[in-house]
Structure 1
Amino acid sequence: MANKVLIVDDAAFMRMMIKDILTKNGFEVVGEAQDGSVAVEKYEELKPDLVTMDITMPEKDGIQALKEIKAMNPNAIVIMCSAMGQQAMVIDAIQAGAKDFVVKPFNAERVLEAINKALG
């Protein structure tokens, strides 16, 4: 059975890029969210196996959404996505429970490596 993934990013083209990488490699994208608030709602509703989460977003950032998802499900698997130069935020994300992080612009192999490693 394909692993179900929720993609969270405020940029539609970034969501499209990740979705393209994942669907070509046998993952099922069950939902997308454009900010942290929607991400938390969709996580609860869709119960994905994995979440890719942008850090910098309007409304609620990825780290706050990560904390709320981890509070809901301590075993949630979340991979953070960040632009270059956000190392401090990445450290916060890992401390908050993120499994890994991928730097934008995305490298398909790196995305898949992070996801496969996180899923064990």
Structure 2
Amino acid sequence: MLGKRVMCVDDSPIMLAKLKQLIESLGYEVCATVQSGHDALRLYPELIPDVVTLDITMMGLDGIETAKQLLAQHPDARIVMVTSHGQQNMVVKALKAGAKGYVMKPIGAAKLSEHLARALELGKVYE
């Protein structure tokens, strides 16, 4: 799975930098880091990343709504939600919206690697 392209979406520049560094350390290419769901929707068709990581609680267009809109326009998009502890109800909504999985913050390399690899398996929804 190494060498695949990932778009990271989070409204925190600090989290984006950490996520980018972690994803690249796992051998993936980060093709874009964006701070809003609107930017993700705009750039996705141009970049066609293999996986999109979405912060579930972004300001403005949140991760769940971004996932819904992205999948409505690009049904083959593979999304991994990034969430904080205590947001289980939102995780269920994200999976129902079409996310392929989720990673809890703080994000560990092993868990992230597992979730990115699984997201790349077409049609496989998991927890």
TM over 0.5: yes
Offset at residue 84 of structure 1 (A):
0.8
In the TM superposition, what whole-angstrom CA distance separates every residue of 1:46-69 from its partner, at most 9, and x where no partner exists? 111100000111120011110111
- How does 1:53-92 map onto structure 2 within 5 Å? 53-92=54-93
Query: Any stretches of 5+ residues in structure 1 without a counterpart?
Result: none
| Alpha-carbon distance in 2 for matches of 1:37, 1:54 | 13
Query: Any stretches of 5+ residues in structure 2 without a counterpart?
Result: 122-127
TM-score (ref. length: structure 1): 0.95
Q: What does residue 4 of structure 1 align with?
A: 5
Q: Which runs of 4+ in 1 moved over 3 A?
A: none
Offset at residue 44 of structure 1 (A):
2.0
Paired letter, 1:20: Q
- 2:37 matched to 1:36? yes
| Alpha-carbon distance in 1 for matches of 2:85, 2:102 | 11
Q: What does residue 49 of structure 2 align with?
A: 48
Offset at residue 17 of structure 1 (A):
1.3
Quick check: 2:20–2:33 contact (8 Å CA) kept in 1? no
CA RMSD of aligned residues (A): 1.1
In the TM superposition, what whole-angstrom CA distance separates every residue of 1:19-39 from its partner, at most 9, and x where no partner exists? 111111211111011111111
Q: What does residue 124 of structure 2 align with?
A: none
Give the number of equivalent residue pairs: 120
In the TM superposition, what whole-angstrom CA distance separates every residue of 1:83-116 from its partner, at most 9, and x where no partner exists? 1111111000000100000001111111111001
| Alpha-carbon distance in 2 for matches of 1:59, 1:7 | 16
Percent of aligned pairs sharing the same letter: 40
| Alpha-carbon distance in 1 for matches of 2:26, 2:108 | 14
| Alpha-carbon distance in 2 for matches of 1:113, 1:17 | 18
